[in-house]
């Protein structure tokens, strides 16, 4: 299978990246805030969190502008910000970021400290502050040499931000540059981290065989780094899922969950993926149990939105209309405001199914048409096929088409699931109960 078409033409993508590079922290923050579609007025906790990403970007921007001799003094003056970050997010690791800033020397921290700064940037990225994250990365790398290992780590991060933003060609350039730096420096951790990014990029483009090969290579070389092993298993889940090999997907998902213990973000991601797999094979108890446990771990807004989607879908499967209606407004809101076209297309397809099954055919058709439009523009061939197949039928039969498809898929899964994957599902169903 050939890769999907890029999100934008080469010219349009270059222009989008150019505009991204010209944004100052405040403009980037305002644009991210607008994309997030957050309610006005925001509640205090949400407002504090979003203001935090602007403050962090502003600090890094000022460090970039200062002469090297003045950076240490300024970095030391930011201690209160990292205390605030720890309080607002509940992430104790911000204390380590504060330590890095308090001991700043020269143009930039050494690699271990630099990685703590990248972790801080990643927290904003996870909440949808993509432009702010990109701005932070530009600031942190502005004075680093082309082959500096710290630039390689930042480029791997930048590749992920660009991929999430749908700028696939530039994401690939960033990953490849990071890979060259990793090879030159002999940094095995970074080399595997880049492979995970490239695998995710090929999966986004629809080149599942290449994605599987890349993730497999990453898994072979990931040991003894638990975070990378977890990431490789999660990557292999995505390609097994795309191939409808749910036994393999569930087994990799369970391995990822075991590896993620003690890494909160990875644990939430593994639980979320397992919830989605359970849903696809019609194991609604396992879905709801996985979602409940993931929700208890304070997921970020992106993961929370996905979990709500699974809860609605599983509630639909068991006929719990009260749960559907309780969560449906949050699902619609999250889909409408997502800045990621892939997630938006996926979300609109799910909304089409939910409304079709609830009997609102006109709304279902509207969401299907929107799914088709996004999939066509961005080259999401699988979603395009799903939308075209559903739209090829009279609107009166859309709900029955979804129901028939679900029945067919569940029948297939009942045959292909092996004993190990059924054991995984049984364990998942008991997770929330402890």
- Tens of pLDDT, residue by residue, the chain (434 residues): 223 334 466 778 888 898 888 899 999 999 988 877 666 566 777 788 899 999 999 999 999 999 999 999 999 999 999 999 999 988 899 999 999 999 999 889 999 999 999 999 999 998 889 999 999 999 999 989 999 999 999 999 999 999 988 899 999 999 999 999 999 999 999 999 999 999 999 998 989 999 999 999 999 999 889 999 999 999 999 999 988 899 999 999 999 999 998 888 889 999 999 999 999 888 999 999 999 999 988 887 778 888 998 999 899 888 888 889 899 998 888 888 776 788 789 889 889 988 888 888 899 999 999 999 999 988 888 888 888 888 886 555 555 555 555 555 455 545 457 788 888 888 888 876 65
Mark whether 281 and 216 lie in a shared domain: no
Residue at 278 is within a domain: yes
49 Cα distance to chain centroid: 18
Instruction: Give the C-alpha separation, 94 to 398, whole Å.
Output: 49
Q: Torsion angle of alpha carbons 26, 27, 29, 31, nearest 10°?
A: 160
**DSSP classification of residue 144:** S
Contact 288, 311 (CB under 8 A): yes
Q: How many helices (H) and strands (E) does the chain have?
A: 23, 0
Q: Which pLDDT score is estimated for 313?
A: 86
Helices (H), 77-187: 79-89, 94-102, 111-126, 130-141, 149-164, 168-185
Residue at 313 is within a domain: yes
Contact 273, 294 (CB under 8 A): no
Instruction: Give the C-alpha separation, 124 to 97, whole Å.
Output: 14
Neighbouring residues of 366: CB distance < 8 A, sequence distance ≥ 6: none
Mark whether 42 and 78 lie in a shared domain: yes
Apex 267 CA angle, 101 and 320, nearest 5:
130
Mark whether 169 and 206 lie in a shared domain: no
Instruction: Give the C-alpha separation, 120 to 371, whole Å.
Output: 34
Q: Which pLDDT score is estimated for 49?
A: 87
Q: Of 378, 2, 307, whose CA–CA distance to 163 is shortest?
A: 378
Q: Which pLDDT score is estimated for 8?
A: 60
Contact 193, 149 (CB under 8 A): no
Number of domains in the chain: 3
Other CB atoms within 10 A of residue 278 CB: 27
> Is 275 exposed, middle or buried, given 0-12, 13-18 or 19+ CB atoms closer than 10 A?
buried
pTM summary value:
0.79
Residue 400 belongs to domain with CATH number: 1.25.40
Instruction: Give the C-alpha separation, 226 to 302, whole Å.
Output: 23
Buried b (16+ CB within 10 A) or exposed e, 320-340: beebbeebbeebbebbebbbb
Which contacts of 327-333 are long-range, i.e. CB under 8 A and separated by 24 or more positions?
Answer: 328/354, 330/305, 331/305, 333/37
Mark whether 157 and 241 lie in a shared domain: no
Instruction: Give the C-alpha separation, 337 to 324, whole Å.
Output: 20
Q: Which pLDDT score is estimated for 346?
A: 85
Instruction: Give the C-alpha separation, 3 to 171, whole Å.
Output: 14
Instruction: Give the C-alpha separation, 21 to 151, whole Å.
Output: 17
Mark whether 18 and 106 lie in a shared domain: yes
Q: Which pLDDT score is estimated for 402?
A: 54
Mark whether 27 and 56 lie in a shared domain: yes
Mark whether 276 and 254 lie in a shared domain: no
Cα dihedral sign for 423, 427, 430, 432?
negative
Instruction: Give the C-alpha separation, 314 to 308, whole Å.
Output: 10
Q: Of 103, 102, 82, whose CA–CA distance to 92 is shortest?
A: 82
Residue at 155 is within a domain: yes
Mark whether 246 and 111 lie in a shared domain: no
Mark whether 58 and 74 lie in a shared domain: yes
Mark whether 175 and 254 lie in a shared domain: no
Q: Which pLDDT score is estimated for 410?
A: 52
Residue at 191 is within a domain: no
**DSSP classification of residue 3:** P
Cα distances (Å, whole numbers) of residue 42 to 132, 179, 419:
19, 41, 48
Cα distances (Å, whole numbers) of residue 45 to 79, 89, 240, 377:
21, 9, 38, 36
Instruction: Give the C-alpha separation, 237 to 271, whole Å.
Output: 12
Instruction: Give the C-alpha separation, 146 to 177, whole Å.
Output: 9
Cα dihedral sign for 85, 91, 95, 100?
negative
Mark whether 310 and 417 lie in a shared domain: yes
Domain boundary among 262, 277, 295: 262
Domain residues for the domain of 218 are: 196-262
Mark whether 173 and 299 lie in a shared domain: no
């Amino acid at each position: 299978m050939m890769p999907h078409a890029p999100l934008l033409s080469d010219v349009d993508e270059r222009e989008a990246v150019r505009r991204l590079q010209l944004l100052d922290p405040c403009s980037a923050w305002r644009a991210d805030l607008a994309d997030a579609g957050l309610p006005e007025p925001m509640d205090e906790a949400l407002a504090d969190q979003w203001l935090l990403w602007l403050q962090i970007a502003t600090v890094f921007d000022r460090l970039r502008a200062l002469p090297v001799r003045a950076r240490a003094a300024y970095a030391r003056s930011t201690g209160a910000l990292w205390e605030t970050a720890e309080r607002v997010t509940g992430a104790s690791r911000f204390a380590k970021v504060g330590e890095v800033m308090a001991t700043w020397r020269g143009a930039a921290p050494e690699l271990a400290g630099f990685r703590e700064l990248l972790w801080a940037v990643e927290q904003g990225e996870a909440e949808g502050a993509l432009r702010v994250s990109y701005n932070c990365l530009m600031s942190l790398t502005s004075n680093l040499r082309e082959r500096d290992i710290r630039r390689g780590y930042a480029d791997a991060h930048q590749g992920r931000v660009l991929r999430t933003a749908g700028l696939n060609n530039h994401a690939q350039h960033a990953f490849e540059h990071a890979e060259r730096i990793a090879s030159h420096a002999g940094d095995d951790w970074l080399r595997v981290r880049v492979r995970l990014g490239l695998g995710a990029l090929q999966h986004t483009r629809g080149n599942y065989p290449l994605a599987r090969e890349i993730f497999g290579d990453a898994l072979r070389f990931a040991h003894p780094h638990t975070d990378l092993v977890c990431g490789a298993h999660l990557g292999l889940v995505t390609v097994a899922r795309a191939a409808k090999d749910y036994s393999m997907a569930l087994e990799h998902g369970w391995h990822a969950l075991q590896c993620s213990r003690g890494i909160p973000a990875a644990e939430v991601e593994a639980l979320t993926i397992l919830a989605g797999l359970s849903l696809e094979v019609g194991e609604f108890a396992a879905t709801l149990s996985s979602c409940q446990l993931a929700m208890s771990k304070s997921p970020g807004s992106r993961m929370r939105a996905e979990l709500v989607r699974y809860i609605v879908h599983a509630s639909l499967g068991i006929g719990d209309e009260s749960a559907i209606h309780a969560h449906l407004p949050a699902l619609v809101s999250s889909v409408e405001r997502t800045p990621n076209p892939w997630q938006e297309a996926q979300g609109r397809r799910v909304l089409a199914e939910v409304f079709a099954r609830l009997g609102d055919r006109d709304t279902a058709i509207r969401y299907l048409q929107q799914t088709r439009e996004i999939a066509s523009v961005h080259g999401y061939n699988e979603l395009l096929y799903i939308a075209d197949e559903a739209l090829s039928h009279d609107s009166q039969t859309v709900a029955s088409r979804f129901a028939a498809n679900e029945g067919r898929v569940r029948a297939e899964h009942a045959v292909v699931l092996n004993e190990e994957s059924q054991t995984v599902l049984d364990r998942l169903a008991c997770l929330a109960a402890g």
